[in-house]
Amino acid sequence: MNKSVLMIIGGGIAAYKSLELIRLLKARSIGVRAIMTKAAEEFVTPLSVASLSGEKVHSALFNLTDEVEMGHIELSRSADLVVVVPATADLMAKMAAGLANDLASTTLLATDKKVLIAPAMNVRMWLHAATQRNIATLENDGIQFVGPNEGDMACGEFGAGRMAEPVEILAAIEKLLSPTIQLLKGKKILVTAGPTREPIDPVRYISNHSSGKQGYAIAEAARNMGADVTLVSGPVSLAPPTGMTFLNVQTADEMLNACEGVYDVVICAAAVADWKVAEVSSNKIKKNKISGVPSLSFIENPDILATLSKAGKSRAKLVVGFAAETEDVVLNGKAKLARKGCDLIIANDVSETSGVFGGDKNIVHLVSAKGVEDWPRLSKIEVAQRLMAYVAGQLK
């Protein structure tokens, strides 16, 4: 994404989460410039913020060098969005009153960009009549909110006022930065992602190297374009994305069950195990109880993509599968298109040298009845965005 945000870091214990948010934004190629309030510097150091963002951190209102290089008005002008993390009670009060007595509040008053705030404060401060009045004023002024959530607080209390997690703030930022034309608004889209895990016994299983990154990026791109997304995921270490229905599964059988429903579009990016162990041992297979090595026999797993591609009243208008190949990528992709009965195959090379499993980049070939379209090496996020734009075009 070729966008940038101006992040205003307020002085609260939740300020440490701004560091993780900067890391997440940079991983998505979203540029970050930061302003820190004096109080924020008590919680995180400008050096940490500068190192993660790769940009100079601004804090003083009257700084001759800054004004020459990048005036405070220019700071917000050059950003696509202003984000306040954490938005303390004090910062919100200043915003509501239109006060401008430091760089953060002056920039917030001077900006003509959308402003997203992630409030964080003690539950009684949040519920106080003054804060509630400020919230109403800010909402009226068009300020966007993400959180706060309910939960345990650093002060030992429980309730509303806990800052939204960095992944939630990231989702809110991406939504605001994404094109306002919601090309997939109202469309129901099912995405499968990650590997499946087929048990051998209660301890061991058979699986593969899928990290879920490509499938999750597709689900997020569809959500950002306004779709009503259901993400069915095998076991991965990614945080469940917000703003969609998320179903966690382990095996291919569970994945097939979770895919039940009526959808406009189905995208099968999961690396589903083709086979499962015929008889799963209910106890751990003990080395000293068998002679030699255990012999396992396998049976076929259900083919989710082929099942969802079958003609029928509830078939999605568009069914997209992936082909993970280590040789003859396009040729095998074409064979899979015919065998599975889907409308489109995204063929990708998953040989060890490609770095696709678990990596951030992918080279894909779109194989359909119309022919083959080769895309250049892109980030998985770019593949996802282009794919969802293609899908929107097909649905027209």
287 DSSP 8-state letter: G
Site residues for ligand PMT, 281-320, by CB under 6 A, read: 301, 303-305
Question: Of 163, 33, 140, which Cα lies nearest the Cα of 85?
Answer: 163
Residue the block writes with tokens 């992709």: 333
306 DSSP 8-state letter: H
Find out whether 75 and 31 touch, Cβ atoms under 8 Å.
no
323: β partners = 347
Distant-in-sequence, close-in-space partners of 136: CB < 8 Å, separation ≥ 6: none
Question: Of 68, 65, 55, which Cα lies nearest the Cα of 7?
Answer: 55
Least separation in angstroms between CB 189 and ligand PMT: 15
Site residues for ligand PMT, 328-357, by CB under 6 A, read: 336, 348, 350, 356-357
Binding residue (CB under 6 A) for ligand PMT from 4, 210, 251, 385: 210
Binding residue (CB under 6 A) for ligand PMT from 24, 164, 265, 271: 271
Euclidean distance between CA atoms 46 and 35, whole angstroms: 9
Least separation in angstroms between CB 32 and ligand PMT: 25
Least separation in angstroms between CB 44 and ligand PMT: 31
Q: Does 274 bind ligand PMT (CB under 6 A)?
A: yes
Q: Does 276 bind ligand PMT (CB under 6 A)?
A: no
Euclidean distance between CA atoms 373 and 356, whole angstroms: 19
Site residues for ligand PMT, 109-148, by CB under 6 A, read: none
Q: Does 189 bind ligand PMT (CB under 6 A)?
A: no
Active-site residue, 155 included = yes
Q: Is omega for the bond preceding 86 within 30 degrees of 0, making it cis?
A: yes
Distant-in-sequence, close-in-space partners of 253: CB < 8 Å, separation ≥ 6: 276, 301, 302
- If the CB atoms of residues 167 and 285 are measured against ligand PMT, the closer one turns out to be 167
- If the CB atoms of residues 182 and 207 are measured against ligand PMT, the closer one turns out to be 207
Catalytic residues: 155
Residues that bind ligand PMT (CB under 6 A): 192, 210-215, 252, 268-272, 274, 301, 303-305, 321-324, 336, 348, 350, 356-358, 380
